[in-house]
Amino acid sequence: MVGDVSAAEASAALEPSLAEIETALARARAALLAEQRPDGHFVFELEADVSIPAEYILFRHFLAEPIPDELEARIGAYLRRRQAGHGGWPLFAEGAFNISSSVKAYFALKMIGDSPEAPHMRRAREAILAHGGAASTNVFTRSLLALYGALPWRGVPVMPVEIMHLPRWFPFHLTKISYWGRTVLAPLMVVHALKPKARNPRKIAIDELFVAPLEEVRHWPGAPHQKFPWTALFAGIDQLLRWTEPYFPTSWRRSAIDKAVAFVTERLNGEDGLGAIYPAMAYSAMMFDSLGAPRSDPRMVQILAAIDRLLVIKEDEAYCQPCVSPVWDTALACHALMEAGGDEVAPRLRAALDWLVPLQVTDVAGDWAAQKPDVRPGGWAFQYANAYYPDLDDTAVVAMAMDRAAGGWPAASDRDHNDVTYKEAIARAREWIEGLQSANGGWGAFDSDNDREYLNAIPFADHGALLDPPTADVTARCISMLGQFGETPDRNPALARAVGYLVKVQEKDGSWFGRWGMNYIYGTWSVLCAFNAIRLDPGRQTVQKAVAWLKSIQNVDGGWGEGGESYAMDYAGYRPAPSTASQTAWALLGLMAAGIVDDPAIAAGMRYLARAQAGDGFWKEERFTATGFPRVFYLRYHGYSKFFPLWAMARYRNLKRGNQPSTQFGI
């Protein structure tokens, strides 16, 4: 699938003219502007695997909360459509069978009313049993099954709520795990302490999904990332807790539950929900329900409303999103529109940026402050509201967009209105980002120095994503912001340490790992943009290795692609995958950031984008190109194929017309 020089040259022979590019840009720009909301922002669907909509069905039946028949039927249609040829449900489009998502999807469909003897259910059951059955699922799935009485609690690792009493110096503490970890575990520990039984009004069971009688199961699956000696240590601790937990003082448990409830209540986040992510919202509702809160309790009302706001309901299908991405979508759309230009863009851009301004969090010191108490807040969250958990990636991208609009894109500048407001917001964002740099020079997404790797070995962390350590892509974005603001490594020691971090974590083949986008293409694009922003010599070996790697993996159709398989523990180098518009755009933007413009690889990539553009001005992209948790949870941003290809084509046009080797902007 991966092409060679001759393939790129052959495709380059059909390089689209600038007039053709301009026509494609006009269509894509008009299509994107048509998606702008009346108040100025952009938001597109954010789709994950079937686990979230399946869990939504099971959650509502746990509470015995009625779901309208029409909605339940539409979710069922969605789940059936996503069933793969292997009989189960993968973690991403065209992916391999996954036992956990398959069990949840089967359970949800049976709950909806699908007969176990229906052809699609028989195929699913056969595939599940062939892969070890429901007892082989991951910890969070087994936890859900235990709540339904489908599996004994001994199949779930012990996470006693008394953890809430541990001091910060203890090896495990909520402040030492990721934001998503603490917002899920705090309510989940209460639920596990109380062990409520799902109401399950239809009395649905899934005994047929188990290979062996549950009373005979003594060993439950772990995860490939969990290694000796940590596994042995934590397994021993788990066994000790299992023996001693029944004897914990009642008063101690009661006060621990009170602490967990206080933690959750303080962060409920109105109708945007705890952590603004589905799992935390669902477990917070289960927690209050287990404690006896009625449906009229304002907290329950808020949580249930927040969850229902995640639903995407279409004419014939429906599903539940894991969260929403309005700040991210709006900021990236702004960058693409500024790159594309056009008279109609300026007022629409101002509306988008003005929508972002009041969403900056300046009055709440979130959980990040436990590690950095002297830093003033100043970040943006990913969602509409998530004040305790702004993230550095969004903040850097928003700040760069405002900076470009106020100073580097005169058509968007309004001296009487925008510039002062934007500059104040930018200064506060920069202060917050610089304050959250980790000790190794990099930046994580939500916290600093959240990198105690031994915690991923605890039995409850079989997803391997309990932490939020510095990553190349987020670090690159923060460097890009500082570089766009005029900072250089020779004048800024913090920036120099960050560049050193990126050089250190570069892969042997020249690429960089992409934590939040799929995968090495995303990471490499991010870093090459950062190096361009700080004016790193493109002739340096670190840049040239990355350029060579990107060229070497270009597909024969001129595009680029990469799948979720690239996150495998045994990854040994790039694995060919079909081209996608968003990944092609990242590769092109990365190469252009390295000064590569008049090159067969660029020409071939532009030809791919020109050919792949659909009649509506966008690009069709069914494959997943983003990441929630590597190897566990993947994402499909519906906006990525709408703004990234537009962005890449516009940059190509601008560089060709301006006769410049690279852009002056951070991304």
Nearest one of 310, 246, 240 to 272, comparing CA atoms:
310
**CB of 209 within 8 A of CB of 129?**
yes
Distance of CA 662 to the CA centre of its chain: 29
Residue type, 254: R
To the query of whether residue 393 is one of the catalytic residues in this protein, the response is yes
Nearest one of 132, 119, 295, 313 to 212, comparing CA atoms:
132
329's CB contacts (< 8 A; 6+ apart) are: 41, 42, 43, 44, 637, 639, 643
Q: What are the b/e assignments for 522-541, b being 16+ CB within 10 Å? A: bbbbbbbbbbbbbebebeee
Nearest one of 509, 516, 373 to 448, comparing CA atoms:
373
Q: Which of 49, 289, 393, 557 is catalytic?
A: 393
Nearest one of 606, 575, 577, 573 to 589, comparing CA atoms:
606
Q: What string of DSSP letters covers 368-414?
A: GGGT-TTSPP-BB-SSS--TT--BHHHHHHHHHHHHIIIII-GGG--
Distance of CA 566 to the CA centre of its chain: 16
Residues in the chain: 667
Residue type, 528: L
Rounded Cα gap, residues 226 and 632, in angstroms: 14
For the CA atoms of 14, 18, 20, 23, what is the dihedral angle to 10 degrees? 160
DSSP code at position 266: H
Burial of 475 (0-12, 13-18, 19+ CB in 10 A): buried
Q: Which two tokens stand for residue 79?
A: 């789940």
336's CB contacts (< 8 A; 6+ apart) are: 32, 643, 644, 646, 647, 650
Q: What are the b/e assignments for 607-640, b being 16+ CB within 10 Å? A: bbbbebbeeebbbebebbbbbbbbbbbbbbbbbb
**CB of 272 within 8 A of CB of 303?**
no
Burial of 654 (0-12, 13-18, 19+ CB in 10 A): middle
Rounded to the nearest 5°, which phi and psi values hold at 410? -55, -30
596's CB contacts (< 8 A; 6+ apart) are: 547, 602
Rounded Cα gap, residues 112 and 114, in angstroms: 6
Can you say whether the dihedral through the CA atoms of 182, 186, 187, 191 is positive or negative?
positive
Nearest one of 187, 209, 184 to 461, comparing CA atoms:
184
Report the catalytic residues.
393
